[in-house]
Structure 1
Amino acid sequence: MRINKTLLALSIGMAISLSGCNNDDNNTVDSIGKLTPESSLKASNFKNTINRIGNPVALRDLAHGHLEYIPLFDHGSWHGHTLDDPKYAKDNAIALGSVALLTEEYVHYMASRFDALTLFISGKPVKLDLVDAYSIAGALIQNYVGEQGITAKLTMRFVSDRTSMVNVTIENPNNVELDAVWGGSLMDNYYQNESGFALSDDGTNKTVIEAYPTYERAIKETRDGVEVSFGAVRNSWSLLTSGDSKFIVTRSVQHDGNTKITSNDESGSSSYVQSAKLGNESLIAINTAFTHVQDSKEEVREVANLSDLMLNPVEQMNKSAQRWEEYLEKGLTNDNATKAQEFVAVKAIETLHSNWRGEAGAINHDTVTPSVTAPYFSGNMTWPWDTWKQAYAMAHFNPDVAMENIRTVFQYQVQADDVVRPWDEGYLLDVVTYNLPEDRWNAMSEEYKATHPLATNGLNWNERNTKPSLAAWAVMEVYNALITEHDRPEEAKAWLDEMYPKLVAYHDWWKNNRDTNHNGIPEYGAAKDPIHTIMGDEVNSPDYLGDNSEDAMKFYVTEGKTEHAIGGLKEYNHVLDNGLATPANMEIPVKTAAGWESGRDNAATFGFIYEDQLQAYADERHNGDLAAASKDWELRVTEVRDPKSNALKGYTIDQESVDQASYWYSDNLYLAEIATILGKTAEAKHYNDFAAYTKNYINQCMFYDTKGGEDPYNASGFFYDIKIENTVPVVTEFNAKTPINCAGSHIIARGKNTEGWSPLFNKAATQENADAVAKHLIKGEFSFVGTKELKIPLSTAGTENPAYGPDVYWRGRVWLDQFYFGVRGLDNYGYGKEARAMVDKLFANAEGLTESTPIQENYNPETGAVQGANNFSWSAAHLYMLYNGFVGK
């Protein structure tokens, strides 16, 4: 970090002018209390589980698409801090590293440093060296050693969902008179990544004000510090501010009122210097609150809260420390885990808490997001699929946030009178976040609109699909943890009372809106949505070839460099029937959403394959005939229509997915369990019967077994999706005796994928079928590439799959949810030893996992290299699950 010479000169000048200032007599340690000794904290045993050191140089300082440096967020906060880098901290200042802000739905750095404190003696800066900077669970800590025996310790903790508190304790053994000068600058540069800075037309670094002309950042003096205000920006893909958001600095030591503020019109940046006289006590403490609010309503609430927080800031920090001691006490209960496994468990707990957000915007609950450091996963963006896993893990150490995360998903569960999609009653939206889409915003109260007048510009909200039905799995884990681990039985019962009708509505939606052949086994699909469907102003538009009437399905075909927009399911089938396009040169929004709905976005089982892979497949299996090969990878679609009005309700894909059938089996069992607890005996029987039927269907229809016959592609002994091609009877009664009529044949051409072990995870497989699957997982293409062992087993596509690639998102990379499902599934059927050996390989070979590298979205199976977003919640959740209930068992 380079010294800001302008700030330093101002600091020295202000320090010289302090001789006549009054001392604040409330800044001694005796007057404010002492922090809980670090050595007494369990958290002190886990230093630097994540590297949090760093001083960014741009508002959007990114590496591989996410933040270059990893701030600590906690307590649902909307800002975070990094540690100062000792290699660059050569300016005698006591300061944390960067401040990172969450602006509604995105994350960026506000400053490389902010509110840096320099001590002065008789107008000269005290030489201080940053000798140590580290994190423990829930805190950042920095130690300084200086001249005249002066030392200082900085500790940062979060004390509310909008405020962090920094305590600086200064030891002054010679009782010299000390003065304080604070200063800070806002970020000048707009963007940097591994390729360098974003540049302006003149070749200079692009500034923040160039990128966001309305992002007017202004520093203002307040009685107890400074505040930064931010102009309104409605950039839907990178920065969203209301025009009323602020960052507020509140100190326990009052400044002298002689604040110097300078502005840089070219970059839109500002800087400030403030000063105060500290006195000559042997121990001096300064407590500073940093507060980030999104709008005026939040400001009113948190400023009132600040008054209470600043009455006894050390007590608030000690409460925060105790909160973390409770997390670790509750969360670290596996005495058989290794030190490395325990280290990873703490890292997982920290990761999940960094991704915890307090309620804000359109979300009325606290929630947990996929990754605060990945701009496309931050804010308070909430997905159901992620939530089920996050809540399952957090139930053990923070059940209140686990429940709130689940409530966030259900807040916008579609009701019968929904303003957008009443035909989807019970449906859960794929992404809910800070900003509503316009059609939902228009239906909100006038009070809401007044507080969020610009809230129609966010585009991350998604209603195109839902996610697999593991909701009851997560709800029951919270219930069990509340009773057995937290001694909260009454709340546990109330939790089931609250959630059961919502879970039933979600279950019924799957049956009513995703089971087009009415055999009780839902398919994946997509909603009726403007991205999938010709609606509104697009009806009869000449932009669409084919059928451009209302409710016609959209798809796109690329010929050379030209993309054709086409409407109509009939036209889509015509293209497929006549080989007019291949899966590699078609974009089918319904197919994309169906992949998202599965939680495995571009998995091979849904027909996703690269063009060169498809050609290689054609060469191997169809003598180079690309049209014939394409038939194996095409995805047909069925419209879901209202049985009475024939109105379009959505779409399903023409295959029954074995993973969804397996989750459906578990969902029915968990609903039966909840119904039993709540005394609903008849409903419990109904769901148990439905589960029995589903289990029979999975084993009879979805398991492929050549029984020793010809098997040229080693497909036998595995579960597959099945193509819907048979006319089957409508099933109205579901139980273990219901006749099984399979919908169609196994889709073996698209290879083996993670869906094949879902019946083992959900305990839906017979032992015989599970034994066959286990061979593929342990000795086959999920542990080997050719004859070489994978560094990390259980890749998302088998290494013999035609669409496999070790760095392909859902066709090779190891995702830790699927890894967990695999090893847990093996353990369920007697292969615990082999499963734990796989876990050992994960811990040994996943890059940085047992070091200070953040937990990653996914990993390369052949090298163990990190891939995807860092600080990823569901990876953290499943690593915690492995620690908590699997390793050492």
Structure 2
Amino acid sequence: MRRWLILLLALSLQQVYAQRNKYPDVLNLHAEPPKGKSILTNVFSDMGAWHAYALPLHKEDNGAFIGPLIMGMEGEWLSGAFSRLELSENNQLVDLSVADANIRYFPGMLLQQLEINKLGITQQLIFVSGREALLHTTITNRSNSVRTLNIRYHGQSRKQITVNNETSSLQSAGFVAVFPAGTSITADSLSYSASNTGVVIAPGASYEQTQLQAYYPDTVHKPAVYEFSKSLKENENRWNGYLSRYFSASPKLTEIQKRLAVKCMVTLITNWRSSAGDIHHDGVFPSVNYQGFYGVWSWDSWKQAVGIVTFNPELAKNNIRSMFDYQDELGMVADCIYLDKSENNWRDTKPPLAAWGVWEVYLQTKDTAFVKEMLPKLIRYHEWWYTNRDHDQNGLCEYGSTDGTRIAAAWESGMDNAVRFDSAVMLKNNDGAWSLNQESIDLNAYLYAEKRYLDKLLAVSGEKNRYNDQAEKLLNMIRTKFFDAKKGYFYDLQPETGKLVTVDGPEGWIPLWAGIATKVQAEKVIQKMNDPRKFNTKVPLPTLAADHPAFDPMKGYWRGPVWLDQVAYGTEGLRKYGYKKQASKFEKQLLNNAVGLLTNEPICENYHPLTGKGLNAKNFSWSAAHLLMILKNK
């Protein structure tokens, strides 16, 4: 009987939650109650909130959601389970651990359904703002007699708890919980109890209560008042809107590919942080699962925006704005920004892909106002490169740093420890700018592409193009200076010696993505991409050719792992030159062989090219964003 009731409830939920209910548990959110700063658990957050939750793993935790995880300058669990439901009847505890349980994660909602002693218990957790979540509990009397229950929520915090019985609320280090009026709340330093006693439920009737749980990363505000049924409908409509927008533009996806697309969306939304502190527009963390990624990065943001705009255009725009809020007077954009701007990294910037990001947002939205807003900033950033990263002023740029260190210059490439930079040295350009002594092929290909995108954006703004001649000149220089005809590949150039840095890496196919290579050059590059000794590995297109002596995917961050942005640039480059079947073949290899992509495992920062194992940070944003781009090609 109990399992029949669970099935009946599940069927009714399918009707209520429509499209999003087709995609339960695209990520496995079941977790042990975690401790402290251990943040490897898959979590659920939404609407840019700065706190997150998981589902219980053990039956002893039935009636509780795991968390919250607080995400400020770093991640820390405030509690293993802050709100535990406890029921008693006739002075006897109802043992929820033996209840029939249906515990699921739907896009935008955590759900528990418990059946025990002819009581039906439903708990739903949704976010309603960038600060606030609602925990809604429904207890239904399925018996033929009146039931009188004592209903208690209790839990612990790792920070001091203070109670305000006038507002039926408590606080703990910026985290606020508000209970229904009339709830009796007591607290003892790090624990609390919130009780409603003598609750009478008639046969077939239900008792409902809504608890608000909020985290304020800056100033604690008075929590808003929400009607749960209305908020749930808005939540459902918003998520169905995300899915409908993406799927309508990608009609040929299989069901398993759709589940992957949904996993990409929930990954990006969970990493979304609303404006707070010194972050002035909403942005997206690279990953909630790595302490060093609790900020917003520049080229991450531009890549993320191209994926996010396929389902949430406003977040895509703000993700770009968040970085340009910190453009300096010279036109430079910081590498990364944080809640506390004193932590922002100004030692370097990142590869210039911002105009591409803005153009892709425009293609999806046709928002000319956004183009006009961003265009002057994009132009200043583009010109900054030639003022501060062109050592000999020959029109070809180098990666560099503001402090003269080679490590920051390598960071600026985004390929932190790439082999091609191993022998590079620094050259001073001016008091605040240094360059590596090599002109990088990917950087100049990106700058060529930016010139083309800037002219397109100028046209949208009703202005004359100004970069066509520069682009043509740069195209010819790249074709003649950076291509090794014997090796059939593009490489970085050392201008003082005229020698190419002949390391086979993904930078060599960026000229295909940018549309720079001649047909003959493209054919040569593609031959190398197809070579199983180099780039045609189990998971294709690693960041260093597999036959290079320094190839080491387990230790080398950019010395062998497959990064999904580089795969996407590679396959897009193949399509530009007419190699559509080969592009699809590489994408199929990626989707089928990167472990966990097509199951409910998290999307990783990168993957082992020979084994498919996921590497480094989990639930990685730009991987998710580029997968959305790759899936659209299907």
TM-aligned CA deviation for residue 130 of structure 1 = 5.1
Is 1:176 matched up with 2:147? yes
Determine if contact 1:224/1:254 at 8 Å carries over to the other structure. Answer: no
Letter in 2 for 1:678: S
Is the CA contact (8 Å cut-off) linking 1:85 and 1:133 kept in structure 2?
Answer: no
Give the secondary structure class of the aligned counterpart of 1:467. coil
Work out the CA distance in 1 between the residues paired with 2:549 and 2:529.
17
Provide the C-alpha distance between the structure 2 equivalents of 1:377 and 1:130, rounded to a whole number of angstroms: 39
Is 2:154 the partner of 1:164? no
Q: Which residue of 2 aligns with 1:500?
A: 375
Consecutive unaligned residues of structure 2, counting only runs of 5 or more, are: 1-11
Q: Does the CA contact (< 8 Å) of 2:168 and 2:180 recur in 1?
A: no
- Is structure 2 residue 220 aligned with structure 1 residue 292? no
Counterpart in the other structure of 1:138? 108
2:435 to 635, 649, 652: 652
* 2:543 counterpart SS class: coil
Residues 226 and 248 in structure 1, CA contact (< 8 A), matched pair in contact too: yes
Matched, 1:756 2:508: yes
Q: CA-to-partner distance for each residue in 1:391-429, whole Å, 9 max, x for gaps?
A: 0111121110111111110001001xxxxxxxxx00001
Which of 145, 149, 163 in structure 2 is aligned with 1:220? 163
Tell me how far apart the structure 2 counterparts of residues 276 and 42 of structure 1 sit (CA, whole Å): 38
Three-state SS of the structure 2 residue aligned to 1:372 is coil
- 1:227-267 deviations in Å (ceiling 9; x for gaps): 2333xxxxxxxxxxxxxxx2111123531x3x33234xxxx
Partners in 1 of 2:247 and 2:73 — Cα distance?
Answer: 32
Deviations 1:567-586 (A, max 9, x none): xxxxxxxxxxxxxxxxxxxx
- TM-fit CA distance, 1:679: 2.2
Q: How far apart in 1 are the matches of 2:197 and 2:214?
A: 21
TM superposition outliers: structure 1 runs of 4+ over 6 Å:
none
Q: 2:612 aligns with which of 839, 864, 872?
A: 864
Asked if 1:41 corresponds to 2:12, the answer is no
Kindly state the Cα deviation for residue 701 of structure 1 after the two structures are TM-superposed: 0.7
Residues 225 and 52 of structure 1: is their aligned pair in 2 closer, same or farther, counting only changes over 3 Å?
Answer: farther
1:696, distance to aligned residue in structure 2 (A): 0.9
8 A Cα contact 1:158 1:165, kept in partner: yes
Residue 408 (1) aligns with residue 317 (2): no
1:745 correspondence with 2:499: yes
Question: 2: CA distance between counterparts of 1:512 and 1:781?
Answer: 40
Distance change in 2, residues 1:761/1:222 (3 Å): farther
Counterparts in 2 of 1:276-355, with a 5 A limit?
276-281=197-202, 282-296=205-219, 299-300=220-221, 303=222, 305-307=223-225, 309=226, 312-333=227-248, 334-355=250-271
Deviation, structure 1 residue 270: 3.3
Question: What residue in structure 2 maps to residue 596 of structure 1?
Answer: 411
Matches of 2:600 and 2:631, distance apart in 1? 18
**Does the 8 Å CA contact 1:55/1:98 hold for their aligned counterparts?**
no
Q: Which residue of 2 aligns with 1:844?
A: 592
Aligned to 2:354: 471
Output the CA distance in 1 between the equivalents of 2:557 and 2:140.
53
Distance in 1, Cα, partners of 2:315 & 2:496: 45
The within-5 A match list for 1:572-721 is: 590-607=405-422, 634-641=423-430, 648-681=431-464, 684=465, 686-706=466-486, 716-721=487-492
Q: Equivalents in 1 of 2:568, 2:253: separation in Å? A: 17
Separation in 2, partners of 1:57, 1:799: 38
| Cα drift, residue 467 of structure 1 | 0.6
SS in 1 for 2:154: strand
Contact 2:132 2:213 in 1 (8 A): yes
| Residue in 1 that maps onto 2:5 | none
Q: Does 1:114 pair with 2:82?
A: yes
Correspondence list, 1:507-522, <5 A: 507-522=382-397
Q: Is the contact between residue 51 and residue 70 of structure 1 (CA under 8 Å) also seen in structure 2?
A: yes
- Deviation (angstroms), 1:279: 1.9
**Any residues of structure 2 matched to 1:202-221 within 5 Å, and which?**
217-221=160-164
Q: Supply the distance in 2 between the matched residues of 1:295 and 1:351 (Cα, whole angstroms).
A: 24
Look up the equivalent residue of 2:153 and give its one-letter code: W
Whether 1:99 aligns to 2:4 is no
Picking from 724, 749, 759, the partner of 2:495 is 724
Q: Deviations over 1:662-686 (max 9, x none)?
A: 10110000011111222221xx1x3
Residue pairs, 1:514-553, within 5 angstroms:
514-527=389-402, 529=403, 532=404
Secondary structure of 1:180's counterpart equals strand
CA distance in 2, matches of 1:143, 1:60: 30
Contact 1:179–1:279 (CA under 8 A) maintained in structure 2: no
Q: Is the 8 A contact 1:55 1:113 kept in 2?
A: no
Residue 393 of structure 1 corresponds to 307
When residues 225 and 868 of structure 1 are mapped into structure 2, their CA distance, relative to the original with a 3 A threshold, is farther
2:186 paired with 1:260: yes
Instruction: Kindly state the Cα deviation for residue 117 of structure 1 after the two structures are TM-superposed.
Output: 1.5
Establish whether residue 373 from structure 1 lines up as the match of residue 289 from structure 2.
Answer: yes
Name the amino acid aligned to 1:290.
Q
Partner-residue secondary structure (3-state), 2:296: coil
Residues 688-747 of structure 1 show CA distances to partners (whole Å, capped at 9, x for unaligned) of: 1111111111111111012xxxxxxxxx10000011116xxxxxxxxxxxxxxxxx2211
When normalised by structure 1's length, the TM-score is: 0.67
Question: Following TM superposition, by how much is the alpha carbon of 1:97 offset from its aligned partner in structure 2, in angstroms?
Answer: 1.9
Contact 2:426–2:434 (CA<8 Å) still a contact in 1? yes
Take 1:761 and 1:595, find their aligned partners in 2: how far apart are those partners? Answer: 22
* Shift in CA distance, 667/81, structure 1 to aligned 2, threshold 3 Å: same
Q: Per-residue deviation at 1:769?
A: 0.2
Which stretch of the first structure deviates more once superposed, 770-779 or 272-281?
A: 272-281
1:253–1:286 Cα contact (<8 Å) kept: no
SS at match of 1:498: helix
SS in 2 for 1:512: helix
Kept in 1: contact 2:352–2:443 (CA 8 A): yes
For residues 431 and 495 of structure 1, the distance between their equivalents in structure 2, rounded to whole angstroms, comes to 22
Query: Quick one: structure 1 residues 875 and 841, their matched pair in 2 at CA, closer, same or farther if it must change by over 3 Å?
Result: same
1:775 to 519, 527, 536: 527
Deviations 1:812-832 (A, max 9, x none): 000000111111111211221
Distance 2:368 2:570 in 1: 31
What amino acid sits opposite 2:436 in the alignment?
Answer: I
Kindly state the Cα deviation for residue 224 of structure 1 after the two structures are TM-superposed.
4.9
Q: How many Å apart are 1:780 and its aligned residue? A: 4.3
What one-letter code is carried by the residue in structure 2 that aligns with 1:218?
I
> Structure 2 residue aligned with 1:383, among 286, 297, 304?
297
Q: What secondary structure sits across from 1:69 in the alignment?
A: coil
SS of 1:83 mapped into structure 2: strand
Percent identical: 32
Q: Which amino acid aligns with 2:243?
A: L
Q: Quick one: which amino acid aligns to residue 493 of structure 2?
A: I
CA distance in 1, matches of 2:580, 2:534: 17
Does the aligned pair in 1 maintain the 2:154–2:191 contact within 8 Å?
no
- 3-state SS, counterpart of residue 181 of structure 1: strand
2: CA distance, partners of 1:163 / 1:277:
29
Amino acid at match of 2:238: R
Separation of aligned partners in 1, 2:17 and 2:279 = 38
Q: CA deviation at 1:364?
A: 1.3
**Cα offsets for 1:199-242 (capped at 9, x unmatched):** xxxxxxxxxxxxxxxxx522424345442333xxxxxxxxxxxx
Structure 1 partner of 2:7 = none
CA-based RMSD of the aligned residues comes to 1.7
Alpha carbons 1:348, 1:879 under 8 Å: kept: yes
Partner Cα separation in structure 1 for residue 94 and residue 532 of structure 2: 65
Gaps of 5+ in 1: 1-34, 62-66, 188-215, 231-245, 264-268, 416-424, 438-458, 484-491, 533-589, 608-633, 642-647, 707-715, 727-743, 785-789
Shift of 1:635: 1.2
